[in-house]
Amino acid sequence: MEKVVIVGGGYAGIFALRELVKNKNIKITLIDKHTYHNLQPEVYELIANNSNFADVTIDLTTLVQGFEHDHLDFKNLKVRKIDQENKKIYTEEQETVEFDYLILAAGTRTFFPPSIPGLNNADDIKKLHRAITFKQSFEKQLFEKIRNEARECDDTHIIVVGAGLSGVEIAAEMAHYSNKFFKRGKFSCDNLKISLISSSSSILPGLKKELINISQKRLKDLGINVITGIKLERVEDGYCYFTNGTKINHSFVVFTGGIEASTISSEIDNIEKNSKGQIIVNEFMQTKNYENIFAIGDIAEIRNKKDEIMPPNVTIAKISGTNAGKNLLRLIDSKPLIKCDPKLDGILIALGGKFAAGDIYGVLTVKGRLAYEIKKYVFSSYRAPLLRILKKGYSKLKKL
């Protein structure tokens, strides 16, 4: 029986898994250092108290139980080394997992440039446990302001460094939540400030001008101070120092300024990678030197038919994961492989509360409540099938 291993239980890994389980005659092992799949685009709702931990996670043990496959297993392990020649995966837990075919889907992490001193103390909300810690710190800051308002009303200043999608969304959600908090309680000490820093000349670099303008206006309406064209130089003594010589005081800093591949990509030799550590794949999602090893989602450098590098997001994770799953099964059956031509359906940006902005298929721009409802629908259409599988898995576990 052929042994197939998926490393990474995120979006791409789960889409690959949904294809692989169609073949009942292979042994499938899903490996992840976490016990849950983090629904990253919804973490901002968690921070803003619009959802809870259960809403933004999928339990991998329960999910695996829910698939109709007799040879499927989940292992909560941290990969230490991949020996592609001998087809073995070594883990920190001293367990060795063998494979005939391997899918790498471990994603990316926030890149903290070592050239910026003090940045290691910034919050990285791509990691769920850090996002929860940040949420608690944020709420504690609000509580301290209310508790001390009779004696002092010190500014609370949150600095979000990086004005791409992640930075804009987290700044907007925090601003909306704090505005609603102070308005509801009629608190006098409502001087919380949020600054969004972009090293580019605008926010959301690379997106359509119309989307940028909508987002810029929304951020301004929320009271967010947007500063463009400056770079963070260092963080120390309660201040952020910038390359133009200015310094800004802060209560805490959120850094969203770039990504790099999961450390797993560095644990495998003789595979071509780009400067971010992402694995370069061909049009079938295979690594260039090993046809039995695939890389998908954020950990891979994925190109379309025009040879354009695709941005790391859920849509590309879905397309690449599904394609790799199909191709791996076709490889086992000695069938011709299917080329992957990833395309973006559009983009949707959460801008605090029930307000969003989006570009649909490059032809329609939407904003406000309509865009928010479309975003909700897109998320639920992904989560709903997994919830059905979870329900089956939960029933099985309760009978054990």
pLDDT digits (tens, 9 = 90+) for 182-219: 776 555 555 678 999 999 999 998 889 999 999 999 99
pLDDT digits (tens, 9 = 90+) for 227-283: 999 999 999 888 899 988 989 888 788 888 777 878 888 888 889 999 889 999 999
Is 293 a residue whose pLDDT tops 90? yes
Q: What is the mean pLDDT of the chain?
A: 87
- Which pairing describes strands 72-76 and 26-32: parallel, antiparallel, or unpaired? parallel
For 128-156, what is the mean pLDDT?
65
For 288-302, what is the mean pLDDT?
95
> Which positions ≥6 away from 346 have C-beta within 8 Å?
358, 359, 360, 361, 362
Alpha-helical segments (H) within the chain: 11-20, 43-47, 60-66, 128-147, 165-185, 209-221, 314-332, 369-399
8 A C-beta contact, residue 352 and residue 172: yes
Give me the residue label for tokens 């990474």.
8
- Ordered by where they begin, the domains of the chain are 3-33+77-111+259-344 (3.50.50.60), 119-255 (3.50.50.60)
How confident is the model at residue 156, as a pLDDT?
Answer: 76
Q: What is the DSSP letter of 55?
A: G
Distances from the Cα of 296 to the Cα of 2, 321, 326, angstroms: 20, 6, 13
